[in-house]
Amino acid sequence: MSADAAPTSDIVTAAVLVIGDEILSGRTKDKNIGWIADHCTAIGIQLREVRIVQDVEEDVVAAVNALRARYSYVFTTGGIGPTHDDITADCIAKAFGVGIDVDQRALDLLLPYYKASGREITPGRLRMARIPFGAELIENKVSVAPGFMLGNVITMAGVPNIMQAMLDAVTPILKTGKKMLSKAIDLNHPEGAISEIFRAHQALFPDVPMGSYPSQRDGKPVTQLVLRCTDNLRLEEAAAGLAEKLRERGLY
């Protein structure tokens, strides 16, 4: 499998491209973005962008090409089933300017499965064996129909448990970078009470991105401050310094 697209630095980035009218109509609620985000963070890949687009060839091709040029990896979900609205494989082939046809390796996975389960080999099912030229298959144990990786683009199913199996299957061959570590500080105060201390502390640690996330607990405003860095010592230093400043003001 080609790793040409992976950068040589310590930072490995990714984007997710969700393909599916059903997410945009609201009929189906996406469960894959959050899963892939957690997975990327856990293995040392920084998810930088997500797009959800319609089942429209031109939109999918444009998004694939925009994202694969910018990030180390692009994970796509959805649109690789047997029906006419499953256009992802053809879109990936078009985005890369390569051909696509029924693939013998994919047939070798699918035919014994259908034979064993007594299911007919319909043209639709054969369609799931269509793989862009040059792609490597990504097997999955749930539905047998494979995903694939072409260049830096990883094409997976939209059904969550199948997507998860494919993500696990492809992970060992992905290049990963330093893991982004994080530390959270939970405060029983609204954001507005800490914004100046927090801004000044961020200015002292420009290499440790800090975010503030307000919510409510028992009807009262609370805030979670999150500090992120790939260097654990630096992260600890920034977090301890912030906690001290907040304690001095009676805010922590």
Instruction: Give the footprint of its own copies on this chain (CB under 8 A).
Output: 18, 20-30, 33-34, 37-41, 46-55, 59, 81-86, 119-120, 122-125, 127-128, 159, 161, 180, 182, 190-196, 198-199, 202, 209-216, 226, 228
* Least distance (Å) between residue 160 CB and its own copies: 9
Distance between CA atoms of residues 92 and 150, nearest Å:
8
Instruction: Please give the structure tokens belonging to residue 173.
Output: 């061959």
Query: C-beta of 40: minimal distance to its own copies in Å?
Result: 7
User: Whose Cβ is closer to its own copies: residue 46's or residue 164's?
Assistant: 46
Residue among 84 and 97 whose Cβ is closer to its own copies: 84
CB nearer to its own copies: pick between 112 and 192: 192
Closer by beta carbon to its own copies, 97 or else 116 = 116
Helix (H, G, I), strand (E, B) or coil at 89: helix
What are the beta bridge partners of residue 149?
Answer: 136, 154
- Kindly provide the b/e burial profile for residues 108-144, where b requires at least 16 CB atoms within 10 angstroms of the residue's own CB: ebbeeeeeeeeeeeeeebbbbbbbbeebbbbbbeebb
Beta carbon nearer to its own copies, 86 or 103:
86
From the list 41, 29, 53, the residue with the least C-alpha distance to 160 is 29
Closest to 61 in 3D by CA, of 137, 153, 158, 142: 153
In whole angstroms, the minimum distance from the beta carbon of 2 to its own copies comes to 26
Q: Shortest gap between Cβ of 102 and its own copies (angstroms)?
A: 14
Question: Least distance (Å) from its own copies to the CB of residue 54?
Answer: 6
Partners of residue 45 on adjacent β-strands: none
